[in-house]
């Protein structure tokens, strides 16, 4: 079993209304936060033992489905296959 | 004219669109389930409003991979009319049939109200029955109608007259006060470069009968029909 994690975050150049609302909420609680950005964390478990092959497939999925390149960037982390698990 | 109204899980304006086309305009209309791969020879396709796939991930992000979207893309490439209303607009952007993307309203509110929409280009397949500068009263109902694209794309959209509708006040003046969602350059509806694919956030199907308070939306459907009649003649 291969585990992977995808972090999707709004581009800095795009106004992030959710981040703005969260930022204001934190400020209202008395913490001097200057900025907040709200993204997504997607955790995946993939059949197989070849992290390289999984990465190639996941890059496509990240680009086409999990993020929209017009407004978001993503970071894909693929963990090594865990010993003893398939 | 033969129309198809595509239904995704979570579509909720499909019946409104069907009603207007069938009962108000006397058109041939069929529902097409998103799992289908054929549009059955429809000459015009409506992707209706709603919350396809619960808006999970991003609005329209999952619906754009529905089996029917292959046929929608093929129809668009052939020059057939494709109209995406609200969630349909979001799906068309995610599918790459229209540039840009619709994100959360900048004020974070779900805006459900009748707004003023100015006709920017009255020579398109969707507006030829309208007048440039005309102000339409049409309802919106969305949380993600904030149109975003890079400056170059926005410039091109205006230069190519692909922007058909912008938000305005009742007198047709643009301004932040009459922009309900923060949309770039007040954009409410655009077409593709070829002019046969329209996406718009306002709901013309909810403003097509006087009893509903406005019949201004009907002009958009009638423009499509007028064009078709001209071709047949």
Helices (H) and strands (E) in chain B, counts: 5, 11
- The C-alpha atoms of residue B214 and residue B202 are separated, in whole angstroms, by 13
B93 is known as an active-site residue = no
Task: Report H helices in B2-150.
Answer: 14-19, 68-77, 87-94
CB pair distance less than 8 Å for A70 and B108: no
Residue A25: strand, helix, or coil: helix
Mean predicted confidence (pLDDT) in A39-44: 96
The token duo for A21 is: 């609302």
User: What is the pLDDT, as a whole number, of residue A83?
Assistant: 58
**Residue B190 and residue B101 in contact, taking contact as beta carbons nearer than 8 Å:** no
| Whether the complex's predicted ipTM surpasses the cut of 0.90 | no
> Using alpha carbons only, what angle is made at residue A14 by residues A10 and A17, rounded to the nearest 5 degrees?
75
Q: Which residue has the tokens 């033969």?
A: B2
HSE on the CB side for B215, CA within 13 Å?
7
Which one is catalytic: B34, B142, B186, B203?
B203
Task: Nearest by CB to A68, from B65, B101, B104: name it.
Answer: B101
Task: Nearest by CB to B100, from A15, A40, A70: name it.
Answer: A70
B203 is known as an active-site residue = yes
CB pair distance less than 8 Å for B148 and A17: no
The token duo for B203 is: 């709901």
Phi, psi values for residue A51, rounded to 5°:
-60, -30
User: What is the pLDDT, as a whole number, of residue A80?
Assistant: 75
Q: Is residue A86 scored above 60 in pLDDT?
A: no
User: What is the pLDDT, as a whole number, of residue B233?
Assistant: 43
Walk me through the domains of chain B, giving residue ranges and CATH numbers.
2-232 (3.40.50.880)
Q: Which residue has the tokens 């694209």?
A: B149
CB pair distance less than 8 Å for A66 and B57: yes
- The C-alpha atoms of residue B18 and residue B14 are separated, in whole angstroms, by 6
- The C-alpha atoms of residue B100 and residue B192 are separated, in whole angstroms, by 11
Q: What do you get for the CA distance between the two ends of chain B, in Å?
A: 14
A 10 A CB-CB count for A56 gives 11
Question: How far A17 CA lies from chain B's nearest CA (Å)?
Answer: 5
- The C-alpha atoms of residue B147 and residue B93 are separated, in whole angstroms, by 10
- The C-alpha atoms of residue A57 and residue A45 are separated, in whole angstroms, by 13
User: What is the pLDDT, as a whole number, of residue A82?
Assistant: 63
Q: Cβ contacts of residue A67 below 8 Å, gap of 6+? A: A6, A8, A73, A74
User: What is the pLDDT, as a whole number, of residue A13?
Assistant: 86
- The C-alpha atoms of residue B223 and residue B196 are separated, in whole angstroms, by 12
Chain B CB contacts of A70 below 8 Å:
100-101, 148-150
User: What is the pLDDT, as a whole number, of residue A42?
Assistant: 97
Burial (Cβ within 10 Å: 0-12, 13-18, ≥19) of residue A15: middle
* β partners of residue B29: B3
Task: Nearest by CB to B108, from A14, A21, A70: name it.
Answer: A21
Greater model confidence, A14 or B151: B151
User: What is the pLDDT, as a whole number, of residue B114?
Assistant: 98
User: What is the pLDDT, as a whole number, of residue B129?
Assistant: 96
Q: Which residue has the tokens 């106004």?
A: A15
Mean of all residue pLDDT scores within chain A = 91
User: What is the pLDDT, as a whole number, of residue A81?
Assistant: 67
B112 is known as an active-site residue = no
HSE on the CB side for B90, CA within 13 Å?
30
Walk me through the domains of chain A, giving residue ranges and CATH numbers.
2-78 (3.30.1280.10)
Q: Is residue A85 scored above 90 in pLDDT?
A: no
Q: Cβ contacts of residue A51 below 8 Å, gap of 6+? A: A2, A78, A79, A80, A81
List, for chain B, all residue ranges whose pLDDT scores fall below the cut of 50.
233
């Amino acid at each position: 079993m291969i585990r992977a994690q995808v972090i999707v975050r709004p581009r800095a150049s795009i106004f992030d209304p959710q981040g703005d609302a969260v930022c204001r909420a934190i400020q209202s609680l008395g913490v001097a936060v200057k900025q907040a950005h709200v993204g997504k964390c997607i955790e995946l478990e993939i059949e197989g033992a070849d992290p390289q092959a999984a990465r190639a497939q996941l890059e496509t999925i990240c680009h086409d489905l999990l993020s929209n390149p017009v407004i978001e960037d993503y970071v894909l982390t693929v963990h090594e296959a865990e010993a003893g698990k398939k | 004219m033969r129309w198809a109204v595509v239904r995704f899980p979570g579509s909720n304006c499909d019946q409104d669109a069907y009603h207007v086309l069938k009962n108000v305009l006397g058109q041939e209309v069929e529902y097409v389930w998103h799992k289908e791969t054929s549009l059955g020879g429809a000459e015009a396709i409506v992707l209706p409003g709603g919350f396809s796939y619960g808006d999970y991930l991003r609005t329209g992000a999952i619906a754009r991979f529905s089996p029917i979207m292959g046929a929608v893309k093929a129809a668009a490439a052939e020059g057939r009319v494709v109209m995406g209303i609200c969630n349909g607009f979001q799906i068309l952007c995610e599918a790459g049939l229209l540039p840009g993307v619709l994100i959360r309203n900048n004020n974070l509110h779900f805006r459900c109200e009748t707004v003023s929409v100015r006709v920017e280009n009255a020579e398109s397949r969707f507006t030829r029955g309208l007048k440039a500068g005309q102000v339409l009263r049409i309802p919106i109902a969305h949380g993600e109608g904030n149109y975003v694209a890079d400056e170059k794309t926005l410039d091109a959209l205006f230069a190519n007259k692909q922007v058909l509708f912008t938000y305005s006040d009742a007198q047709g003046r643009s301004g932040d006060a009459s922009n309900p969602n923060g949309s770039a350059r007040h954009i409410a509806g655009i077409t593709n470069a070829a002019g046969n694919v329209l996406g718009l956030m306002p709901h013309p199907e909810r403003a097509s009968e006087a009893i509903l308070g406005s019949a201004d939306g009907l002009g958009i459907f009638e423009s499509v029909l007028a064009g078709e009649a001209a071709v047949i003649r």
